[in-house]
Each structure stands twice: as structure tokens, then as C-alpha cells.
Amino acid sequence: MNDLARDQKALRKRVAQIIRRAETHPRRGALLLRGDVGELLQDLKRLTRSEPAVVLDVFLFLMERLVGVIGDLEDGPGFASSLVPEITARIRSVMRNDARTGDQQVDHGRAIDRLFKLWIDDAEGFYQELDELLLEVSVTPAAEITLRERLIGHVRSLPLVFPPPRGASDDLRRALLIAERHRCERLLGELLARMEQFEYSVIVASDHYRRTGDAVDLVAGLHRSGKTEDALTAARKALASPRSFQRQRIQELVDGMVCDTELDRDRETLRELERMFTSEPSENTFAALKKAVPPDQWVRVRRRVLGHLQKHQKAPTVLFRLYLDEGEWQEADGLVVVQQVDPDVLRSGAFEISEEHPSIAAGWLLFAAHHRATTRRTSTYPLIVEDLLTVRELASSCDQMPAFERALRRFRTRYSRRRKLMEALDRKGLR
């Protein structure tokens, strides 16, 4: 037996001992596992450059053994589950580095086989990172072909699932089969899309959206395939639907699309952008709308969409920021009086205009102090004190100290029962 094989056998034996030790101490097993595997990872790190194939085999063997014990341990703090991202990151590093250098010390096809089996057998969902890992490490022809063949073979092995009879609901077996088929088809679609074959992933995402209302994959797939206008339409439809979820993720995709894409200036596109902005306001969508609207029409469009937000009291913090960006500080000031703007944004806005409009900036900082005080969080007290000190400086610079003193008295009266806040104000002379 050569040295390489001896190292591999010894390390596998060490993994087996680690797992047995955790199994025999179910109450402390997660903590023991965390410590033992941490030491093993440090030792493997030293071997990675000289023996990558051995190290990869041990990582895969560790994951194969972990899945049988990780669910039986008392692991409230997540000691055992936190190991999984560390191990997958090491696997990614070893395989990608071997592919990049061209050393070919690692059998990529065999590694994909073992990862794929782990992914298929992961009924408990311990290894959710494997979806992305399989795609990221399939960078050699052998790995890519192996993954594609395994996915196609597994999809073919799954029985077809037809909709239940009218009025009947899905049973558990049907729901699990649908979920398993979608999981495999989605990964296959992502693999094909990486080869610029986008149709399959869009078909899978469309079917998933019809069944579940989850439009994230559909929006991303359409955009990736070059159909940005269709992606924006799908996103708007999903955001407007009451059954839609992952709304924040969809909005992030929309923001990225409208910023990175040169959209047409036809009337329908402009209407679409207006609808998107007024339904889900964001600075990125506003910037895309501004880019698409002809300059001679912009003032009218801007007043219409921002006025819509103010009238319906939607996203006051975003609206405040947009008013400032557009140089409409008077409109921003009017908004602050009637709607609650995030105090951090108020503060930054106040510093932007403090030189030209000190009295208005002081008012915004005063509102920010009130908003922070209403949260009853003592961690905000230092910021409240800073804001009020700045208000005093601004009031002094524009001869409005009597107004500041009245505002401070009202502030102290309103929050007089906050003993720690009052003490913080006293220490800074804000009496």
C-alpha cells in the first residue's frame, strides 16, 4: 500500500471515529462534532496542495457519514449544522482549483457522482447548499457531462404526476413527487442555461409559477435569456398578485434589470415603468423611468409619480430621498411634516441642506429625534443627543434659539418618563 492510500485510509478511519464519538454522546455530540471536525479541517488544509484527491475524498466521506447522525443530535445552537457550509466551501475550493490549474489529480466525474447521490438522498434538507455547489464545481467536461446525465436519468425515473380530480386536494405522495421533479428539473435547467440553452429553464419556471405563484425563477430566466421586457411584465404581474411571495427578491431582480438594461422609449414601456414604480417604489426603478422618459416630459412625469406616492402615503422614506435627489427640498419638507420618514435618512438629508437651509435641517433633525424616541430603544439615545445638539447649533446660526428652547422643552415634557434619556440630555446641557 503506497503512502497516498495509507493517508486516505487513516483519514477515513479518523472520520468514522469522530462520528462514533458524536453518536455515543447525543446531548454533547453536536459540540464534540464541532470541535473534532474543526481540527480535522485544519489538518486537511495542510494536505490540500500536496494531496487534493485524498482531501476531496475525505470531505465527501465526511458528508456521507454526517448525514446519518446530524439529525439525531441535540443541536439548538447549530454547532453541527454550521459545519456543512464550511465543508462545501472546501470541496468547492479543491475542485475548482484542480480544474483551473489543469493538474487533473481529482476525478471530477466520480466526485459529481457522490455529490449527486448526497443531493438526491437528502430528504431532511441538511445539504441545501448542494444545489449551488453542484453547479459551481461542474466546470470540467467530465463533471458537466456526469451531472447532466445523472439529472436526466433521475427525472426519467420519476413517475409523472397529473393534477388531482376537480375539487380534490393533493395528497402527500403527489406533493412530494411534484417537489422532487421540480427540484431536479430546476437544476437541469440551470445547468443548460449555463450552456446558453435557456428554453428548458424558462419552461420549468413557468410551470412552477402557475402551480405555486413563485415567479422568481421565471423573472430571472426570462431576463437571462434576453427577454427583459417579458421579464419585467412577469415581475409586475407577480408583484400585483396577492398570492405572490418572495416579493423582495422579485423587486431586487427588477431593480437590477431596469438599471442594467437600455429600455425602449415607446409609450407602453413608459407606462409599464410607471406602474412598476408606483406599485413597488424604489430608487433604481425611478432612475430607470427617468432614463426612459424624454427630457422635455420629465418634470410632468416626475410630479405625477411622486405625487401619487405622497397622496397614497406609500414608501415615504424612498419618496423623501427622491425629492432631495431631484432638488425639491420644499416638497421633502412638506412630506416630513405629514408622514414618518426613517430617522437615519432624515439625518443624512438634514446634513445635505444644512448650509443653505439651516432652519429646515434643524426641523428634520428634530423630527428624527422624536422618531427615535418613540421606539423606546436605549441604544438610540446617543443619536438623539447628537441630533439635538446639532439642532441647537443650527438654531444658533440662524438666530432661532427661542424656538429651539421651546422645542426642547416640549421634547423633554413628552419623554420625561424616560429617565436614562433625560440623564443623557442633562449631561450634554440640553435642559
Which has the closest alpha carbon to 41: 71, 1, 5, 84? 84
**Burial class of residue 390, CB neighbours in 10 A (0-12, 13-18, 19+):** buried
The torsion angle over the Cα atoms of residues 292, 293, 298 and 301, rounded to 10 degrees, is -100
Number of helices (H) and strands (E) in the chain: give both, helices first.
22, 0
C-alpha cell at 342: 426613517
Q: How far, rounded to the nearest angstrom, does the alpha carbon of residue 367 sit from its chain's CA centroid?
A: 31
Buried/exposed code over 325-350 (b: 16+ C-beta within 10 A; e: otherwise) = ebebbebbbebbeebebebebbbebb
For residue 418, which amino acid is it? Answer: R
- The answer to whether 305 touches 333, Cβ cutoff 8 Å, is no
| pLDDT, tens only, 179-228 | 889 999 999 999 999 888 999 999 999 999 988 888 999 999 998 998 88
Mean pLDDT over 366-389 rounds to: 91
Q: Percent of the chain at pLDDT above 90?
A: 47
Strand boundaries in 46-99, DSSP class E: none
CB half-sphere exposure, 292, CA atoms < 13 A: 25
Distance separating the N- and C-terminal Cα atoms of the chain: 84
Q: How many CB atoms lie within 10 A of CB 307?
A: 12
As a whole number of angstroms, the distance between CA 181 and CA 170 comes to 15
DSSP classification of residue 159: P
* Amino acid 262: pLDDT: 59
* Amino acid 1: pLDDT: 46
Judged against a pLDDT cut of 50, whether residue 40 lies above it is answered with yes
C-alpha cell at 359: 432652519
R_g over Cα of the chain: 30
340 three-state secondary structure: coil
Judged against a pLDDT cut of 90, whether residue 345 lies above it is answered with yes
As a whole number of angstroms, the distance between CA 104 and CA 108 comes to 8
Considering 98-102, 279-283, 320-324, the range whose residues carry the highest mean pLDDT is: 320-324
C-alpha cell at 412: 423633554
* Amino acid 132: pLDDT: 92
| pLDDT, tens only, 217-251 | 999 999 899 888 888 888 878 877 777 677 778 87
141 three-state secondary structure: helix
DSSP string covering 284-329, please? HHHHHHHHHS-GGGHHHHHHHHHHHHHHTT--HHHHHHHHHHTT-H
- Give Cβ neighbours of residue 131 (< 8 Å, ≥ 6 apart): 119, 183, 187
Task: Enter the pTM of the model.
Answer: 0.65
Domain ranges of the chain: 209-314, 337-431
Judged against a pLDDT cut of 90, whether residue 316 lies above it is answered with yes
As a whole number of angstroms, the distance between CA 238 and CA 255 comes to 15
Q: How far, rounded to the nearest angstrom, does the alpha carbon of residue 73 sit from its chain's CA centroid?
A: 29
Q: Which of 142-156, 242-256, 316-330, 372-386 has the lowest mean pLDDT?
A: 242-256
The single residue listed with the C-alpha cell 406609500 is 314
C-alpha cell at 280: 413597488
Judged against a pLDDT cut of 60, whether residue 265 lies above it is answered with no
C-alpha cell at 401: 434659539
| pLDDT, tens only, 43-83 | 898 888 889 999 999 999 999 998 888 877 777 777 778 88
- Give Cβ neighbours of residue 135 (< 8 Å, ≥ 6 apart): 187, 190, 191, 194
